[in-house]
Amino acid sequence: MRPLGPDHREAGWRYLLAGALMVGGPVWQYLYTNHYPFARLEAFLLPGAAALIGVAVGAAAFRAGGAVGTVLFGGLLFAFADLQFDLERRVYTAAILVLCIGLSALLRRHRAALACLTLGAFYAVGVMRPPLVPSAPTHGGEATARNGEPILVHIILDEQWGIGGLRAAGDTATATFLTAFYLERGFEVYDAAYSRFVLTSESVPATLSLGQPADYKAHKGASPYVGSLRTNPYFKGLAGLGYQIEVFQTTYLDFCSAVDAPVAGCHTVSGNSIANIGYLGGSWTTRAMLAGRYFLNLNSHIYTKLHPESRAFRRSITGGGLASAKLLEVAIQEHPDEKTAYFAHLLLPHRPIDVDAECRPLVDPRDRMHYDYAEARGRSWPRALALEAGQIRCTHHVLSDIIDAIDRSVGRDGAIVIVHGDHGARLHDTQPVSGGLSQLNARQLNASFSTILAVRRPGIPAAEHLEPIPVQDFVWELFHTDFTGTVEGPWAHYLRQATATEPGDTLRRLGAEDMLWVSNHE
């Protein structure tokens, strides 16, 4: 390759390599540092395609030379700055472009070599990537033989709407599906269950506190977790019953570092991450499109200005939930003779809506619902309910696989299985009024607090219960019976919110008119 301009002192291959590093490098580094599963073909094709674009522009810059070559190479520098850094938050985009072209002109005789050396060193440093999360402390003791005692499988579904709540919202079909799902598999199912809390950071710690003050710590800065439990009375109690504890969690909430309850195993997946796209099904081309949009939405200011409608692709959660569920399924089958308590917090069917009822990825931005209310983006309420229902059915498809694994490994009466939500779906037909508990109307209460609760225990037949039951209190009482006794009220019906925006608006007592999830059974 021979340059057309008079200002070159470098070989053409340097321009090709520089272009590949400046455009393909940011894509590769982002996938690599975020632990994208490299068993997937798109993990190599995406950075490869980006690198080829850079090679083409680098070749054009070399052949053109002169002012055109300077502008083209400056464009490569600008692409690198746009994809790799977040300079646009502090500097005008036009100023960054002018700076990149100016730098290209200033260093024109050795710009390709300097780019290769600088970026080569920059990416070489990143080869030693940190783990997704630090290793959790484990007790390292020998497993206890089960000797006919049941294992425990405790699954928390995130943003899972309750059966009565779905009926109240108008989705009788999904409510009927859920009732049949649990009854056919031998569960006691509680149609009118609800959470006392609307936030995971309050709901789950309260559930595991067994009635004691929850010891939750929110993290900022360098921690990979959004929050963690410093003590865990529930896990401590399970250990006292002779269980070793296996945890399946996300980076949203860490259960494994509690000082009073060391676990035997800790399996963590990312909360919101590009890596979760790699765990979705479908073709590699679909995942490549989703991963490419995710990367550009989070890393390119130019792309988001040109494609504001694609911001629905900047969150991906479902794939991590599916991956965690699969890990749980495998773990149950690997150690059927050990007295193990499997605890899983699955971000399913948590929004955004990533999949349909068959767990196939959704690619239309209009389907990838991520707002809390249906009218956003002109979506109708029936359409919003249908999308939510699809992800609920996908969630229960993988839950069915877990229950089947339990039944194959230890039998129907060889396990105690608890499934409940942390709070409601938080999906509203109109934009909710912000504020404390007192500001929510009955439909908003229904969307925020109605959740799933189903339990299967040895020797206890399937049944459908219609009375309203607070999930947190139910789990406490179930634990105190060693999971074998009758759990019954009376229950006081109220909601709590520690993070209320209005002082004093932290408690709301519920009357019959507030609990739409009770009065909609058919």
pLDDT band at 259 (very low <50, low <70, confident <90, very high): confident
**Could you read off the pLDDT of 202-239 as tens digits, one per residue?**
999 999 999 999 999 998 877 888 999 999 999 999 99
Q: Are 151 and 410 in contact (CB under 8 A)?
A: yes
- Strand blocks (E) in 308-370: 340-346
Per the structure block, which two tokens stand in for 402? Answer: 């877990």
415 sits in which H/E element? strand 415-421
- 254-282 residues labelled b (16+ CB within 10 A) or e (exposed): bbbbbeebbbbbbbbbbbbbbbbbbbbeb
| Listed range (136-145, 165-174, 504-513) with the worst mean pLDDT | 136-145
pLDDT at 5 over 70: no
Alpha carbons within 13 A on the beta-carbon side of 111: 29
* Residue 263 in this model has a pLDDT that exceeds 80: yes
The widest CA-to-CA distance across the chain, in whole angstroms, is 89
End-to-end CA distance of the chain: 76
Residue 133's contacts (CB-CB under 8 Å, 6 or more residues apart) are 224, 225, 251, 254, 268
Strands 469-470 and 188-190: unpaired
Residue 505 pLDDT more than 70?
A: yes
- Burial code (b: 16+ CB inside 10 Å, e: under 16) for 463-498 equals eebeebbbbbbbbbbbbeeebeeebeeeeebebbbe
User: pLDDT value at position 307?
Assistant: 80
pTM of the model as a whole: 0.93
pLDDT at residue 140, as a whole number: 54
Lowest mean pLDDT among 21-30, 195-204, 492-501: 492-501
What is the Rg, in whole angstroms, of the alpha carbon atoms belonging to the chain? Answer: 26
- Mean pLDDT throughout 409-427? 96
Give 403's DSSP letter. H
- Position 33 pLDDT exceeds 70: yes
| Cβ neighbours of 407 (radius 10 Å) | 16
Q: What is the pLDDT of residue 306?
A: 84
Average pLDDT over residues 485-500: 87
Count CB neighbours of 37 within 10 A.
16
Does residue 521 register a pLDDT over 60?
A: no
181 pLDDT higher than 50 = yes
Residue 303 has pLDDT above 80, yes or no: yes
**H or E segment to which residue 514 belongs:** none
Q: How far is CA 234 from the centre of its chain?
A: 24
Kindly report, residue by residue over 358-370, the tens digit of the pLDDT. Answer: 999 998 877 888 7
- Provide the pLDDT for residue 308: 73
Residue-wise DSSP of 181-231: HHHHTT-EEETTEE-S-SSHHHHHHHHHTTTSPP-EEE--TT-SSSEEES-
- Residue type (1 letter), 44: F
C-alpha 478/C-alpha 466 separation (Å) is 18
In contact, 361 and 42? CB cutoff 8 Å:
no
Instruction: Summarize the confidence of residues 322-330 as an average pLDDT.
Output: 97
Q: What is the pLDDT of residue 450?
A: 97
Share of the chain above pLDDT 70, in %: 92
E strands, 227-369, where?
227-229, 244-250, 253-254, 265-269, 340-346
Mean per-residue pLDDT for 412-416?
96
Q: List, for residues 429-451, the tens digit of each pLDDT value.
A: 877 766 678 888 999 999 999 99
Q: For residue 506, give the 3-state DSSP assignment.
A: coil
Residue 310's pLDDT band, with cuts at 50, 70 and 90, is low
User: Does residue 371 carry a pLDDT above 60?
Assistant: yes
Residue partners of 292: CB distance under 8 A and separation at least 6? 46
- Do 480 and 410 touch, CB atoms closer than 8 A? no
pLDDT > 90? residue 147:
no
CA nearest neighbour of 16 among 46, 51, 45, 44: 51
- Distance of alpha carbon 312 from alpha carbon 241, whole angstroms: 45
Distance between CA 452 and CA 265 in Å, rounded? Answer: 27
Identify the pLDDT of residue 4: 45
Where is average pLDDT lowest: 113-127, 184-198, 364-378, 442-456?
364-378
Average pLDDT, the chain: 90
How does residue 6 score in pLDDT terms, banded at 50, 70 and 90?
A: very low
pLDDT per residue as tens digits for the range 76-114? 999 999 999 887 777 788 888 999 999 999 998 899 999
The Cα 300–Cα 10 span in angstroms is 30
Strands (E), 49-196: 151-157, 188-190, 193-194
- Kindly state the percentage of the chain with pLDDT values over 90: 71
